Amino acid sequence: MQALRINVEIVMERVPLASRWASEAWLPCAVTTVADDAVATADAPPEPDATGTRWRFRGHTLELHPTEAEGYFLNLTSPAPCIFVMWRQDDEGELRLARPVLATLSYNQAGRLLDGGERVDPVPLPDAIADWMRPFVATHYKPEPRRKVKRNDPFADGAFVPQRGDGTGRR
């Protein structure tokens, strides 16, 4: 089955800091849907706003895959559903922009990215994207059946033979 896709743009915000170790911090602040006819490539240059504190990155997609249905379910049922944005900071240039690399809706995929040492930040999930996800999750997410827990019982099936203190194993 093909993945379900929606085109988005990611807005990164530069926040000035009063610190001797860093002059600024970058955070993703919004993810918005884009009409199919306004799709740009991921290589398109970012567009700054009038203040120069927010940068709009076009050409990203959110994809839903059946194998990640559990991660989408966990996200939708959490107290604060979100979009996870993985980003990297440029090493070149005067401004050193923070560029989004990937956006995902799966808790599991975001966890794997974090385990791999990537920067991943959450952005609140817009209602329109949550409504787009719900039918997919309802179709593809099947919870695992509950299983009985078998306890390690040393007295079951005569497996336990008390030992004498002399090491002979006789009773």
Higher pLDDT, residue 23 or 171 = 23
> What b/e sequence results for 151-162 when a residue is b if at least 16 CB atoms lie within 10 Å of its CB, and e otherwise?
eeeeeeeeeeee
State both tokens at 164.
Answer: 């004498």
H helices present in the chain, as ranges: 69-76, 107-115, 127-140
The Cα–Cα gap between 129 and 32 comes to 9
Q: Computed from CA positions of residues 79, 81, 86, 92, in that sequence, does the dihedral angle turn out positive or negative?
A: negative
* Mean pLDDT of the residues in the chain: 84
Interval 12-70: pLDDT, tens: 998 888 888 888 888 999 999 987 655 555 566 777 777 778 889 988 999 999 999 99
133: number of CA atoms within 13 Å, CB side? 27
Give the pairing type, strands 4-16 and 119-124. unpaired
Query: Quick one: what percent of the chain has pLDDT higher than 90?
Result: 51
- DSSP per residue, 9-24: EEEEEEEE---SS-SE
Kindly tell me the burial class for residue 41, based on how many C-beta atoms sit within 10 Å of its own C-beta (0-12, 13-18, 19 or more). exposed
Interval 70-91: pLDDT, tens: 999 999 999 999 999 999 988 7
Q: Is the CB of residue 146 less than 8 Å from the CB of residue 53? A: no
Does the structure show a pLDDT above 90 at 154? no
Higher pLDDT, residue 70 or 149 = 70
The Cα–Cα gap between 30 and 21 comes to 26
Whether this model's pTM surpasses 0.85: no
